[in-house]
Structure formats: C-alpha cells, structure tokens
C-alpha cells in the first residue's frame, strides 16, 4: 500500500500472540483524517487487543504502526499519547474529587504565574474556553463526581482535544448514555471531524454505526476481514462479515397463541420512581417495555421482583392478589428476573457455571441436608446444552465466559426455578450480534413453552421484533400500550418523548 | 493516560489466569511442604512423632478460630471479636467447671451457649444495621473483654474439675484430645462449606451479594449463620484453651483474632469474599504453628519470629491479590 | 472482691459529683473537707494490681479518705490524661501505678507542678515523685535465681521465660537473673524466649523446649507465675516435672496452691497488701502536709513448700 497523505494512521501486518494463541494475525487498519472509522467484530475478534497495542499498553510481536507517515514506537504509552492518540473509555477513569478543569489538565498543569503556584482560576479559564468551543455547558470548577456519565465523557473528550489528539478512540461510548446525550455526543464527533480529527469508533449498536461511521473495518477471530465505506454496507451484510455466515432473520415469525393471564399489575406506584403503571402478561406472550433511560422501566421490574417495595397498587399472580416483599417471595410466586446489570445482579463470578445455574433452586439438589453434586451436574449439563452455553466445562468460573454466555447462565439460573413469568431487563446489552441472535431464539422458545415474558429493552428493533404488545413508559408514567400492529419506531419514540 | 491501564488489562487470557490461580492455591501447600522439609533437615528434633503431635495440639485453638473466621470472610465479612469470645466462653465454662458439682457436659454446654449467643449478637447487629462488620466486631471485641473481666471479677478461675481438664489435656488412644477435636471440626466445617446449601450460599453472598439476593437467597440468614458459627467455634476454642491451661483467664485470647485471620488468608481465603477452603485454612494454621515451633526449636529470638510471621502474611496476601487479577 | 465493686461505686459517686457526704470521723484536710485521693493503675486486668488496689481501697475506707481509681489499661498516654484530670478535679493526692518508666513521667511532673503530691506505687518513673512505695523488681529475680542456684548446687542448664519484651518488669527481672547467673559459672542459660506473661503461650513454648532439649533442662525461671504455671503444666504432661525445677515471681493464688502441691518449686511474694496500704498512708500524710520517707521498699519473700501456708489466703 503506497503512503497516502490522507491517512493519519496506517497499521500493517500486526500480529500478537498470547501463550501460543494468535489474538491478532496480520491485521491492518488505515484511518483517514477527519473520518469516523468504525471497528467492528464480535467479542474476542481482537478489537481491544488492537486498540491496546495502538495506545501502547501492549507490544505487538510484529507489524508496524505509522502515524502521519512516521513509525510509532511499539508499546510506549507516553509516546502514543504525545503523538496524539487518545482513548475515551467505557468505564470513565477520572479523579472524582478533582474539578473538571483539574481533570482536563491533570498531569500537565500550567501555572500561569512566575513561581509555579497552581492557579485554579487560570486552569478554569482554559477549561472554560475549551468546553465552550465544544459547545458543552459544564462549569469547569464542578467536581467530577457530580457529573453524569455523559458529562464525564464530554470532559474526557475535552481532555483529549486539549492534548491535540489526532486520533481519538471511543470504545462503546454510548453504552451508558440516554438518546439525547447520544445526539449531543454525535454533534461533538461531527465537530471533531470538521477539525480533521480521526475517530476510531467501537460499538455493538448497529444503528449508531450506520448513523455516524464513514468507513467500517471488520475483524473476526483476530483476522482482518475487510474495510468498506459505510454507505456500501447494510446491517445484514455487515453482520455477515462479522460472523462469517448469514444469521438468517434475527426475529423469526412466531405464531404462538397466548394463554391465560399470569401476572397483572394495577396502578402500581413507587414514590420517586414510577406511578400508576398497569399491565398484564399472558402465557406465551412477550410484553415489551420501551422508554428512554430514566423512564422507570427497570424500577418497575425491580418492584415486581421484590427488590424494591411498591408504595401503592396491586400485583396479581394468576388472578390472586399477592404481596411481594423480597425476591424469595417473587420466586415463590413464579416470577423470574434477569437484571440489566449482569455483573451487579446476575451472576457470582467466582462460582462455576454449574453453581450459578443451580443457585436459585439449590434446595432441590439436596438429600439429607447434603448437596448432591451429581444431580447438580446433570441439571446444569442439560441447561448448558439447552441454552447452548459455550463453556469448557460446567465447573468453569462464570468470570471467564463471554458476555453472551454469562447472560445465558443467568437466564438458565432463573429458568431452573421454573418461573411462570420472566422479566428480561435489557437481555442483550453489551453482547455481540451472534449471541444476540441466540438470545432472541431462546426468547421465542420460552414463549413457545408457555412462559410469560416481560422484556425491557432500549433497542427498538428488538422490542419491535419480539414483542406481542408494547408498553411505553415516560418519566415514570404509562404513555401507551401498543399492539404489535400499531407499533413502529416512530410511534414508540413519539410516546416515549411525550410530556 | 496512566490511569487507563486497569480496564484494559482486565480481559487477560483465560489460560494464563487459571494457571496463576492454580499456582496460588497450590502455593500454600508447596510453601508448607518446603518449610517442613527445611526444618527437618536443619534440626532432627522437628520430624518426630511427639513434636508433630505437639504442633498440632498447639495449632488446634487457632485452627478452630480460623475455621469460624473462614466462614465469615467467605461471606465478605470479618470477625475481630474472636479473641474476646475465647475469653468470655472460657470464663463461663470455667465458672461451671470449678468443682465436681456439675457433670462435665454442663460447663461445655454453658461455654458453647455463651459463644452462640455472642456470635448471634454479632450477626444480629451486623444484619440489622448498616454498620460494617469490622466496626461491629471491633465493638463487641471490647464488650467481650469487659464481660470476661466482669464474670471472672478480673481474676483467673482455677481448680477446675479433672473431667473438664481432660478436654484440653487428656488423650484418647494416645492422641491428645485437642487433635481429635480439631480433626472432627475440620471434617464438619468442610462438609458445611462444600456440601450444604448454606455453604454454597456463603460463597454466593461473598462473591456477589446482589446476585445472591436476586437468586432468592436470604442474605441476612446466611450472615446470622456464619457469625453464630464463628461464635460457636470460638467457644470451642475457649473451652479447649481453658481446659489446657486448667484456668479460666479473663485476659486469654488477646490478639488471637489476628492469628486466625492470618491463617485463613495464608490458606487462600480472599479478604474480598467469595473464595476460600477449610483445607487451605487448616494448612495456613499449621504453617503458622510449624514456623513458630521451628523457630523455638532453633532458639530464634522472638523479635525475629514476629518479623518472619509478618513476611509470611504479606506474602500470602500478595499471592491473593495476584489471584484477584 | 466486694471491695472492687465498692471502689467502682465510690468512683461513680465521686464522678457524679456527690461530694457533700461529709462523714463524721473522716480525715479532714486543711479546708475541713474529706480528703480525695486519685489513683491510676497500670491495668485492672492484672491480678496483682487488683490486689494492690483492693488494699488501697480498704485502707482508704478505714482512713475515711475518698479514693477514685481509674484503669490506665497499660497506656501511658491514657495515664497522663488521667492524672491531668485528677489535677483538674483538684484532688488532694495522686497515687500512680506507672505504665512505663519514661512515658508516664510527664504525669509526675504535671502533678508536682500543680503542687499535688504524687506517689508512685509498685514501679518507677524517671521523674522522681513525692514518694515511692514498692519493691525492687531486680531483687525478686535475684531471689528466684538464687533459689535455683542453691537447688542445683551451682551447676545445670536453665531456660528463662521473659515477660513482654521491653517492659520495665521484664527488663529488671532479666537483669536480676543475669546478675546471679554471672556469680555461678556452672549455670548455663541454654535458651530464653518471651511468652508475653501468658500461661497458654508459656505452655506452648515449654512444649517446644522439651522437644528441643528433652531432659537436658534442669530449671525454668519464668518472669511471672502465669508463665511459670504454663511451664509446670507442660512439664507435668511430659512427665518431666519431677526432674525440672520451676520458679517464678508474684505469688498469685494459683501459684501458691501449686507450691503447696509441690508442682511449682518456688515463687517470690511481692507484698500487694503492704504496697497498697503504704501507698495510701503516704498519700494521706502528704495531703496533710506531713513528711514521709522518699522511698519505701517492701521486701520480697521467697515462698517454698516450707513457708507457703502463711501466704495462703483464707478462702473468700
């Protein structure tokens, strides 16, 4: 490939091996000035290894990285930073007790005075200028800890810009942002493009990729698959490149007829979270719950599952009013809950796959007070096969599984307690497309087996593709209950943005 | 960009992690064997049946406490009141063991009951308040010391009955009683931890309390159980100690909690909860005992003994933190 | 034991401000008020100290003096603060059972500066107080080691159990023991180690020594009776007691019983009662402005099977 003035970054023949396994095999990547370059691939495809090499955290075995036509020293964090490569992280790494300005200039404080005294006013002025340029209204003297995740991200970007970054890597930058915040972020990204900054953008969200990206490079299993202008691709073709095969339709038609009512809630409220929410869900039915971040969706789910208390209203199971004080109660009544926060509320990382799967139904595997390992193994092995959980063995720690498989373990655990209704809260958050397809298939299987499903999701295609009815919440209130026929992305968004 | 290293180092490759982790777990056993071999090469007095018996006897009290605190640490808690519980329960047992008026079960049951109540009190306060276990048991540590002094009126209680003194000083088929008690309790605690629902719940609570809660586990019951068991085991340690030195000492057991926690940590129980085994803890306790015995045999100054012990504890924790990553 | 509770009760009454109870035959200070003596004790967890304090309480009651006892819990810092609060309360005299030689000294200086007489009981501080009542720890160890030397005919192997390393009592008892060892070249100190004043630790240590030296040990000198009792237990269990002499210091009731039974060969009696009563006596005299001896040394007494009976208390 001849050297091209347009290319700010050229990576060629990069190979990296971990204990004999090739994480990257002869990978290339070329990024132009002022473009948004999406880096796509399933988990384990080598994206993060590549980025770590780029910012100098890892050293490549072979290959070269050219920045503005000059070789970038391998495995040197400081050099990469000095030469203008910056990374905005999934988990923001700011110092919470310092102010915005102090964080932006952390490590290279300019003094503004002869004697080297730190001058906060001076810092604040500089920071304010920078933030104004970006069109962000955050006071530079605010402590970092009082900012929202989105605001922190803006500050990180400001920090990168103040560092004269030429290439900014954004790893899942929107995973914790509301739609409005995403819009602001995209505005900033477009400004950056104008200024000639190149963005390497990593995300699992297809709609985002096609909104913002100019060029897409796909990696699979450590191999370079190809680079295409975004305009030449559509979702299906991109997925085919990523997984190496056609997935078929993500949302197969299902013709299950719904049965009896399993769960209904009437005018339930929880002070400060949601109010007057009413709905019911039947055997073999998927009720989707849509809404923006902070609309109260997760709060409703937590209250039904007994993690929080409702302040008024009624919950009925199969027509009988019940009081749910704790998850134990909820499980007794046949309610299962798969949390949006897999790591926080889903699995126990240092227990094995088997031990996690049996956790909610453990007393079923005892005899004379002692656990029956064989019975546990049998049940877990079956669940691993049924849900197609990819694990070396049932005794593997869940910690070491991929996100999608961790999610399946949690679902398996919930299923073993034989629920009549399952609440799935963002069931595909942060897992890659192949695993997503499997989760969708699984939801349809559960539905076919007569389980009632409540699915909360921020991804509209998912909601539309799977739900029989859709409840839209906005600001803690019930905005609409739409039938499958009535629901489109536009109607849902219209209701979700109401008030 | 220095502070960026952490999130990006997390997805280390599986094989490497499991290898390090396995090494960490085996490390303590290896260390134990190495120390034993070294000592038997240096001094012929180490590897003799009587000396080994003495080591295990001396270790038994610390090991009993360490078993209890292993349960507690696995759930992510800590129990600093162990030493005080040893004193209280020992004094209570001694009060009932003073003459031959009661059969020997009475002082034993009285001691165990006091330990059970003490432990349950710890559990109660910890589960009903939001106060961290460290603070709660720091408080009950002082309360316990005071109770022991009140009950004993500040003086040792001696002239205990022979049947009571048999518990710590007697032998059964040539094996000292403390060793027998140790072996039995090791078996019982191992089974509880590995083979019961309660044991599994301990790992779940310590490994991820929220996920345990969402799995329908009654967190508070699990915590009540572990602190109560810690109290019971401390009571047993108190009874063995009292019987061994044939006096109920209100100031007995001072600092014992640290040795017990050290044994658990050296044995691979992670201070952040969710991992740990009874076998590891037993080896941890034995390692401490062997080193202390060996250094005595070699007539090493106690100043150096403390330094050695500290180095071992730090080494174990470093190993633990390598495991965590 | 009732007296301890009385002490506590008096303390409580005094602290809650019940100073109006002018009893008829009470000793009167210059102002005609009942005399108040503040006492800060090293540790009320230590049996010997409790005995000293009991006797002080008894004597104080007899003399019609109010005695406020506080426990320094082995902390010199706490002790200094306690003396400061006594000074603030304007007590008539202070009795201090010092925690440490150096660190407790500021308390003495402060009391003297406030012109309140201060009496050290049982152990010393580097700053000289108004009066000292106690015994010389070095002497107790000399007596104990002398007994061992006589018993062994000046020849044999000895092990020594230290108290908590670095504490005044440990340092002095070691010093006394070594003085005698020097006089008898035939006595060999083959091992010495701390058992931190603790019976259980002493037992472990003795067991380990038995493994090391078997019957090569002829005598054990322990810095206190608690450790001596631990050594006796370990030796008895090993069937070696009749071959090894054990001597320790303090003459606590357990030790006296053991001496009577013949398991402990000797202990050294430090007279708690006399220390307590002399301390109160000195305090009252100084409070009234009378002269007292600068130093009252209460002699130690060796307790063996022959004279143990006279030290045994009547059962309470």
Indicate the domain borders of chain C: 2-135+271-298, 137-269
d(CA A74, CA B99): 80
Indicate the domain borders of chain B: 36-324
Which whole-number Å values give the CA distances from C122 to A277, A329, B174, C38, C125, in the listed order?
A: 78, 66, 46, 16, 10
pLDDT of residue B324: 52
The answer, yes or no, to whether residue A436 has pLDDT greater than 60, is: yes
Whether residues A137 and A194 share a domain: the answer is: yes
What residues does A453 pair with on adjacent strands?
Answer: A286, A422
Would you say the CATH fold of C137-269 matches that of C2-135+271-298? yes
Q: What percent of chain B has pLDDT over 70?
A: 89
Instruction: Given the cut 0.85, state whether the ipTM is greater than it.
Output: no
Short-list A218, A221, A224, CA closest to A237: A218
Q: Mean pLDDT in chain A? A: 86
Helix residue ranges per DSSP H, A83-176:
100-104, 120-134, 149-162
pLDDT grade, residue C8 (50/70/90)?
Answer: very low
Whether residues A30 and A128 share a domain: the answer is: yes
| Cβ-based contacts under 8 A for chains A and B | 116
Whether residues A340 and A435 share a domain: the answer is: yes
Q: Which of B244, B249, B299 lies at the smallest CB-CB distance from C191?
A: B299
Which whole-number Å values give the CA distances from B203 to B208, B234, C38, C54, C224, in the listed order?
A: 8, 21, 54, 52, 46
Mean pLDDT of A36-40: 93
Give C253's contacts in chain B (Cβ within 8 Å): 155, 158
d(CA B10, CA B7): 5
Mean pLDDT of B102-113: 93
Whether residues A337 and A402 share a domain: the answer is: yes
A171 domain residue, yes or no: yes
CB-based contact, A327 to chain B, within 8 Å:
yes
- pLDDT tens sequence across A87-122: 887 665 677 788 888 888 876 665 555 555 666 787
d(CA A356, CA A391): 13
pTM: 0.74
CB-based contact, B6 to chain A, within 8 Å:
yes
pLDDT of residue C5: 43
Q: How far is C126 from chain B (nearest CA, A)?
A: 26
pLDDT of residue B119: 96
d(CA A399, CA A391): 11
CB-based contact, B213 to chain C, within 8 Å:
no
Residues B36-324, CATH architecture: Orthogonal Bundle (1.10)
Residue A208 phi/psi, 5-degree rounding, is -65, -45
Q: Which of A80, A345, A369 lies at the smallest CB-CB distance from B210?
A: A345
- pLDDT tens sequence across A219-277: 988 889 999 999 998 888 888 888 776 555 667 666 667 789 999 999 999 998 899 99
CATH number of A313's domain: 3.40.50.300
Range name among A250-254, A432-436, B272-276, B302-306 with the lowest pLDDT average: A250-254
Other Cβ atoms within 10 Å of C90 Cβ, number: 10
Residues of C with CB under 8 A from a CB of B: 1, 4, 44-45, 47, 50, 165, 191, 193-194, 198-200, 203-205, 207-209, 211-212, 226, 229-230, 233, 237, 252-254, 257
- pLDDT tens sequence across C91-148: 999 999 998 877 888 899 999 999 999 999 988 888 899 999 988 889 999 999 999 9
Q: Pick from B216, B217, B273 the residue to mutate for testing the A interface (most A CBs within 10 Å).
A: B216
Cβ within 8 Å, pair C205-B296: yes
The answer, yes or no, to whether residue C11 has pLDDT greater than 50, is: no
Give B212's contacts in chain A (Cβ within 8 Å): 348, 359
Residue whose token pair is 């990523």: A242
**C32: three-class secondary structure by DSSP:** coil
A255 domain residue, yes or no: no
pLDDT of residue B296: 81
- pLDDT tens sequence across B189-205: 999 999 999 999 999 99
Whether residues A223 and A358 share a domain: the answer is: no
Give B190's contacts in chain A (Cβ within 8 Å): none
CB B76 within 8 A of CB B82: no
pLDDT grade, residue B50 (50/70/90)?
Answer: confident
Give A51's contacts in chain B (Cβ within 8 Å): 8
pLDDT of residue C20: 39
Whether residues A351 and A215 share a domain: the answer is: no
Whether residues A213 and A303 share a domain: the answer is: no
pLDDT of residue C313: 66
pLDDT of residue A114: 53
pLDDT of residue B14: 39
Which whole-number Å values give the CA distances from A201 to A210, A234, B309, in the listed order?
A: 11, 17, 52
Give B247's contacts in chain C (Cβ within 8 Å): 199, 229, 254
The angle subtended at Cα B279 by Cα B276 and Cα B280, nearest 5°, is 50
**A233: three-class secondary structure by DSSP:** coil
Cβ within 8 Å, pair A93-B204: no
d(CA B92, CA B239): 9
Mean pLDDT of A440-464: 90
Domain residue limits at A491: 261-496
Q: What percent of chain A has pLDDT over 70?
A: 92
Whether residues A413 and A356 share a domain: the answer is: yes
pLDDT of residue A142: 87
B296 CB-contact burial (10 Å; exposed 0-12 / middle 13-18 / buried 19+): buried
pLDDT of residue A180: 79
pLDDT of residue A110: 59
Q: What percent of chain B has pLDDT over 90?
A: 54
Please tell me the CATH code under which domain C137-269 is placed: 3.40.50.2300
The answer, yes or no, to whether residue C161 has pLDDT greater than 50, is: yes
Chains touching C, CB cut-off 8 Å, 3+ pairs: B
Of A182, A214, A243, the residue at which a domain comes to its end is A243
Whether residues A80 and A202 share a domain: the answer is: yes
Whether residues A221 and A122 share a domain: the answer is: yes
Chain C: residue whose CA lies nearest to B154: C45
Positive or negative, the Cα torsion across A207, A210, A215, A216? positive
Residue whose token pair is 């803006």: A154
Residues C2-135+271-298, CATH architecture: 3-Layer(aba) Sandwich (3.40)
pLDDT of residue B218: 93
CB-based contact, A307 to chain B, within 8 Å:
yes
Mean pLDDT of A339-358: 91
pLDDT grade, residue A488 (50/70/90)?
Answer: confident
Of A188, A217, A243, the residue at which a domain comes to its end is A243
CB within 8 Å of B134: residues ≥ 6 apart: B78, B80
Chains touching A, CB cut-off 8 Å, 3+ pairs: B
Structural domain total, chain A:
2
- pLDDT tens sequence across C227-279: 999 999 999 999 999 999 999 998 888 899 999 999 999 999 988 889 999 99
- pLDDT tens sequence across B65-90: 999 999 999 999 999 999 999 999 99
- pLDDT tens sequence across C24-68: 344 444 555 789 999 999 888 777 888 899 999 999 999 999 999
pLDDT of residue A315: 95
pLDDT grade, residue B3 (50/70/90)?
Answer: very low
pLDDT grade, residue B325 (50/70/90)?
Answer: very low
Whether there are 3 or more C-beta pairs closer than 8 Å between C and A is no
Chain C: residue whose CA lies nearest to B296: C208
Ramachandran region, residue C280 (left: φ > 0; alpha: ψ -120 to 50; beta: rest): alpha
Whether residues A282 and A333 share a domain: the answer is: yes
Other Cβ atoms within 10 Å of C49 Cβ, number: 22
């Amino acid at each position: 490939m001849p050297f091209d003035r347009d290319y700010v970054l050229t990576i060629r023949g990069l190979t990296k091996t971990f204990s004999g396994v090739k994480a990257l095999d002869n990978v290339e990547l070329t990024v132009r000035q002022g473009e948004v370059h999406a880096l796509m691939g399933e988990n384990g495809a080598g994206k993060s290894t590549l980025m770590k090499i780029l910012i100098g955290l890892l050293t490549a075995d072979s290959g070269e990285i050219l920045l503005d036509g000059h070789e970038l020293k391998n495995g040197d964090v400081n050099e990469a930073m000095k030469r203008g490569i910056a990374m905005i992280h999934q988990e923001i790494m700011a110092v919470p007790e310092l102010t915005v300005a102090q964080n932006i200039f952390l490590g290279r404080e300019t003094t503004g005075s002869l004697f080297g005294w730190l001058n906060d006013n001076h810092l604040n002025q500089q920071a304010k200028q920078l933030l104004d340029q970006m069109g962000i209204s955050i006071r530079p003297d605010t402590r970092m800890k009082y900012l929202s995740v989105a605001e922190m991200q803006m500050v990180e970007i400001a920090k990168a810009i103040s560092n004269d970054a030429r290439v900014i890597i954004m790893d899942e930058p929107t995973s914790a942002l509301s739609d409005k915040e995403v819009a602001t972020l995209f505005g900033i990204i477009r400004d950056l493009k104008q200024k000639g900054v190149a963005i390497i953008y990593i995300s699992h969200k297809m709609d985002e990729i096609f909104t913002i990206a100019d060029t897409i490079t796909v990696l699979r299993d450590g191999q370079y698959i190809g680079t295409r202008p975004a305009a030449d691709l559509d979702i299906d073709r991109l997925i085919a490149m990523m997984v190496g095969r056609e997935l078929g339709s993500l949302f197969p038609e299902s013709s299950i007829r719904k049965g009896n009512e399993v769960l209904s809630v009437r005018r339930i409220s929880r002070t400060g979270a949601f109010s007057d929410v009413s709905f019911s869900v039947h055997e073999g039915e998927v009720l989707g719950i849509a809404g923006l971040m902070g609309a109260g969706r997760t709060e409703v789910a937590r209250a039904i599952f007994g993690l929080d208390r409702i302040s008024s209203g009624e919950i009925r199971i199969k027509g009988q009013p019940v009081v749910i004080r704790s998850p134990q109660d909820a499980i007794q009544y046949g309610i299962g809950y798969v949390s949006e926060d897999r790591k926080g509320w889903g699995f126990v990382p240092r227990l094995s796959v088997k031990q996690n799967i049996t956790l909610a139904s453990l007393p079923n595997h005892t005899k004379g007070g002692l656990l029956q390992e064989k019975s546990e193994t049998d049940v877990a092995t079956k669940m691993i096969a049924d849900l197609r959980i990819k694990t070396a063995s049932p005794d593997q720690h869940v910690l070491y599984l991929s996100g999608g498989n961790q999610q399946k373990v949690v679902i398996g655990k919930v299923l073993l307690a034989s629920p009549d209704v399952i609440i799935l809260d963002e069931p595909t958050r942060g897992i890659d497309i192949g695993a997503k397809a499997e989760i969708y298939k699984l939801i349809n299987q559960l539905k076919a087996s007569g389980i009632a499903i409540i699915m909360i999701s921020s991804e509209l295609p998912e909601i539309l593709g799977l739900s029989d009815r859709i409840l839209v919440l906005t600001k803690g209130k019930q905005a609409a209950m739409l039938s499958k026929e009535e629901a489109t992305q536009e109607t849902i968004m219209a209701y979700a943005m109401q008030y | 960009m220095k502070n960026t290293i952490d999130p990006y180092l997390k997805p280390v490759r599986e094989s490497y992690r499991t290898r390090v982790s396995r090494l960490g777990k085996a490390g303590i056993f290896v260390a134990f064997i190495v120390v034993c071999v070294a000592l038997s090469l240096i001094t012929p007095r180490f590897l003799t049946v009587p000396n080994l018996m003495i080591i295990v006897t001396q270790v038994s009290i610390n090991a009993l406490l360490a078993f209890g605190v292993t349960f507690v640490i696995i759930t992510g808690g800590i129990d600093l009141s162990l030493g005080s519980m040893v004193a209280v329960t020992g004094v209570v047992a001694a009060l009932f063991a003073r003459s031959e008026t009661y059969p020997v079960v009475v002082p034993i049951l009285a001691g165990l009951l006091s330990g059970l109540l003490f432990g349950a009190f710890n559990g109660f306060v910890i589960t009903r308040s939001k106060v961290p276990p460290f603070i709660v048991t720091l408080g009950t540590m002082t309360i316990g010391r005071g109770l022991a002094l009140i009950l004993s009126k500040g003086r040792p209680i001696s002239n205990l009955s022979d049947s009571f003194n048999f518990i710590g000083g007697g032998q059964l088929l040539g094996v000292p009683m403390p060793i027998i008690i140790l072996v039995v309790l090791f078996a019982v605690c191992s089974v509880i931890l590995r083979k019961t629902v309660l044991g599994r719940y301990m790992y779940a609570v310590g490994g991820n309390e929220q996920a345990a809660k969402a799995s329908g586990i009654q967190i508070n019951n699990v915590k009540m159980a572990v602190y109560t068991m810690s109290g019971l085991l401390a009571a047993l340690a108190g009874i063995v100690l009292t019987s061994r030195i044939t006096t109920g000492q209100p100031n007995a057991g001072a600092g014992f909690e640290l040795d017990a926690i050290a044994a658990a940590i050296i044995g691979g129980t992670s201070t952040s909860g969710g991992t740990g085994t009874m076998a590891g803890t037993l080896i941890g306790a034995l390692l401490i005992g062997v080193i202390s015995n060996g250094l005595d045999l070699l007539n090493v100054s106690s100043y150096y003994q403390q330094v050695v012990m500290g180095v071992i504890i730090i080494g174990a924790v470093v190993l633990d933190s390598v495991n965590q990553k | 034991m009732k007296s301890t509770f009385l002490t506590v009760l008096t303390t409580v009454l005094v602290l809650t401000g019940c100073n109006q109870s002018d009893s008829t035959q009470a000793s009167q200070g210059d102002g005609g008020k009942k005399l108040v003596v503040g006492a800060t004790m090293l540790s009320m967890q230590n049996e010997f100290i409790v005995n000293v304090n009991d006797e002080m309480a008894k004597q104080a009651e007899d003399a019609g003096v109010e005695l406020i006892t506080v426990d320094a819990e082995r902390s010199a810092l706490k002790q200094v603060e306690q003396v400061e609060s006594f000074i603030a309360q304007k007590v008539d005299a202070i009795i201090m059972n010092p925690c440490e030689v150096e660190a407790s000294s500021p308390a003495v200086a402060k009391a003297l500066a406030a012109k309140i007489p201060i009496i050290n009981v049982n152990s010393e501080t580097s700053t000289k107080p108004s009066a000292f009542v106690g015994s010389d720890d070095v002497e107790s160890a000399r007596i104990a080691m002398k007994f061992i030397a006589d018993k062994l005919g000046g020849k044999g192997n000895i092990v020594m159990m230290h108290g908590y390393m670095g504490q005044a009592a440990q340092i002095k008892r070691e010093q006394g023991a070594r003085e005698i060892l020097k006089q008898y070249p035939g006595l060999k100190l083959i091992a010495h180690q701390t058992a931190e004043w603790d019976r259980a630790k002493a037992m472990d240590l003795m067991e380990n020594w038995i493994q090391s030296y078997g019957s090569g040990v002829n005598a054990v000198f322990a810095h206190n009776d608690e450790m001596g009792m631990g050594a006796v237990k370990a030796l008895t269990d090993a069937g070696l007691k009749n071959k090894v002499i054990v001597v320790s210091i303090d003459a606590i009731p357990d030790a006296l019983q053991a001496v009577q039974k013949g398991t402990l060969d000797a202990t050294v009696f430090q007279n708690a009662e006399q220390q307590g009563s002399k301390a109160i006596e000195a305090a009252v005299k100084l409070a009234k402005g009378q002269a007292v001896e600068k130093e009252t040394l209460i002699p130690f007494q060796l307790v063996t099977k022959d004279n143990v009976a006279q030290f045994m208390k009547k059962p309470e």
